[in-house]
Amino acid sequence: MPENKPKKDRRMVTILIIGLVIGILFWSSFNTAIEATNTENFCSTSCHEMEVNVYEEYMDTNHYVNRTGVRATCPDCHVPQETISKFMRKLQASREVYHHLMGTIDTPAKFDAERMLLARRVWRTMKETDSRECRNCHEVLSMDYDKQEPRSAERHEQAEELDLTCIDCHKGIAHRLPAEYDPEQDIPGESIYYDKADTSL
């Protein structure tokens, strides 16, 4: 016997409403998790390897304490603001969670042994994205070269002419440079440090 059309319509509406509720609950949970892991507190204290290594270094920089009181937190520099890019970065972080659980870089000695690889990975990403996270706070079009030190103004104008990006000249401003870093190999526009590094970590 054919099914009653109003019953069929009600079932379809019920399925759609349940699907919508499940979708909203999933997205809300997912977004809550993304935002909870996107704080300086999470970055600095939930991972021992960050707390005893790079976070301590960061606290001694102008990005942490400065005359204006504006602080760039870990996610400001390491997590994109745009939704899709942020989602992709969080997926990449699953590798970091694995290494956290395995204790790959949980001591200063282990971390320093991998510092160049980790730094090159961050530098390469910044180069590929035109220093996207730097530009959340620093915008070339908003720079007043007349208010900068003459040397800085000259360098910024040159960087603009040569189509360089922030990371070409500003490595090591929030974290200690790797011991293997050689400034002679890091000439802006000709740096060797953007080549694909070993990605085993």
Structure pTM? 0.81
- Out of 2.40.50, 2.60.40, 1.10.3860, 1.10.3820, which CATH number does the structure's domain 39-185 have? 1.10.3820
Domain-wise residue ranges, the chain: 39-185
Cβ 76 vs Cβ 136: under 8 Å: yes
Per-residue pLDDT of 103-121, as tens digits, reads: 898 889 999 999 999 999 9
The upper half-sphere exposure of residue 47, i.e. CA atoms within 13 Å in the direction of its Cβ, equals 27
- 136 band by pLDDT with thresholds 50, 70 and 90: confident
Per-residue pLDDT of 14-41, as tens digits, reads: 999 999 999 999 989 988 988 888 888 8
> How would DSSP label each residue in 119-166?
HHHHHHHHHHTTSTTGGGT--GGG--GGGS-HHHHHHHHHHHHTT--H
Tokens 């979708």 belong to: 23
Per the model's pLDDT, the better-predicted residue between 116 and 8 turns out to be 116
pLDDT value, residue 25: 94
Tokens 């970590």 belong to: 201
Q: For a pLDDT cut of 70, what percent of the chain falls above it?
A: 96
Mean pLDDT for 45-59 is 84
